[in-house]
Amino acid sequence: MSKVWYLSSEPLLNALPDEDVSRLFQLMHTSHYEANRTVFSANVPGDVIYTVRQGSLRFIQITSAGSTRRCATLRKGDIFGSLELVDQGFKRAQISTETPVQLLVLRKPAFEKLIKFYPAMGSRLVNFLKAYLGHHFDTYHREIAIQSRQRILRMLYHTFSHPDYQGDPQTVSACSPRELAELTGSSVEAVEIVLENLQQKKLLQLKGGGIKILKPELLPEMLSLCTP
């Protein structure tokens, strides 16, 4: 299943030659949607690019726990879509209209035509999206990791270091990053960033798909540092 992404059109227009931009828009067609309509979701096949010409849309991420997080409001000039060749983006997301909108759409047949007849242009487009979105989503998940750090530490504390906990603090927990993301309402990528940071600090070890706490006595202190 392809991932869903979004970006402002300005970086794309600045990165591609004018000829590429002109050809890209020539391959697109116009679509109209009324307010409060779903335009795209991550459970449909990929290879489609939308450009907003009029109106506004909501970009909603659906977390692994099933909760939703509004990531952006898309307006004139913004671009969103999903390509099988681009692995950056959200695994589960939904884009719906806030107002009546007019979109330029490049669907899979037109994208395949672009790749077949203009391979150099297709390569430039895909390489730009990979590089730009890679940086964009890495920054996004690091910001989410900062927001999620306290919840993750609290979960680890209550699992391994709380006075009521009767088990061995150094026993490997079978809780995977995905399960920890579901329990804390975070993203898997953000949880992995936090756990990797804690592993670098020698507080825990990621082992066999689980978590082993090496210094449980430090969890209360680290948790207190995250508490406002």
Structural domain includes residue 133: no
| Model pLDDT, residue 118 | 93
Q: Are 46 and 82 in contact (CB under 8 A)?
A: yes
Give the structural domain span for 175.
140-226
Q: How confident is the model at residue 27 (pLDDT cuts 50, 70, 90)?
A: very high
For residue 96, pLDDT over 50 is answered with: yes
Same domain, 25 and 105: yes
Same domain, 17 and 102: yes
| Model pLDDT, residue 168 | 56
| Model pLDDT, residue 222 | 74
Q: Domain with 165 in it: what CATH number?
A: 1.10.10.10
For residue 209, pLDDT over 80 is answered with: no
Structural domain includes residue 166: yes
Give the total number of structural domains in the chain.
2
Same domain, 90 and 43: yes
Structural domain includes residue 86: yes
Query: Residue 152 is which amino acid?
Result: I
Question: In angstroms, rounded to a whole number, what is the distance separating the alpha carbons of residues 15 and 21?
Answer: 10
Structural domain includes residue 50: yes
Q: Are 106 and 12 in contact (CB under 8 A)?
A: no
Q: Are 70 and 93 in contact (CB under 8 A)?
A: no
Same domain, 47 and 110: yes
Q: How confident is the model at residue 104 (pLDDT cuts 50, 70, 90)?
A: very high
Structural domain includes residue 124: no
**Strand pairing of 78-82 and 48-54?**
antiparallel
pLDDT mean over 77-90: 86
Same domain, 108 and 151: no
pLDDT tens string 32-74: 999 999 998 866 666 899 999 999 999 998 876 677 888 899 9
Q: How much is the mean pLDDT over the chain?
A: 83
- Of 175 and 140, the structure prediction assigns the larger pLDDT to 140
Of 55-64, 96-105, 114-123, 155-164, the least confident? 155-164
Of 8-17, 30-39, 205-214, the least confident? 205-214
Structural domain includes residue 135: no
Structural domain includes residue 188: yes
pLDDT mean over 94-115: 93
Which sign does the torsion angle of CA 16, 20, 26, 29 carry?
negative
For residue 17, pLDDT over 90 is answered with: yes
Select from 117, 132, 162 the last residue of a domain. 117
Q: Domain with 95 in it: what CATH number?
A: 2.60.120.10
Of 27-31, 37-41, 159-163, the least confident? 159-163
| Statement: the pTM of the whole predicted model exceeds 0.75 | no
Q: How confident is the model at residue 170 (pLDDT cuts 50, 70, 90)?
A: low
| Model pLDDT, residue 228 | 47
The 3-class SS string of the chain reads CCCEEEEEHHHHHHHCCHHHHHHHHHCCEEEEECCCCEEEECCCCCCEEEEEEECCEEEEEECCCCCEEEEEEECCCEEEEECCCCCCCECCEEEEECCCEEEEEECHHHHHHHHHHCHHHHHHHHHHHHHHHHHHHHHHHHHHHHHHHHHHHHHHHHHHHCCCCCCCCCCCECCCHHHHHHHHCCCHHHHHHHHHHHHHCCCEEEECCEEEECCHHHHHHHHHHHCC
- Of 139 and 119, the structure prediction assigns the larger pLDDT to 119
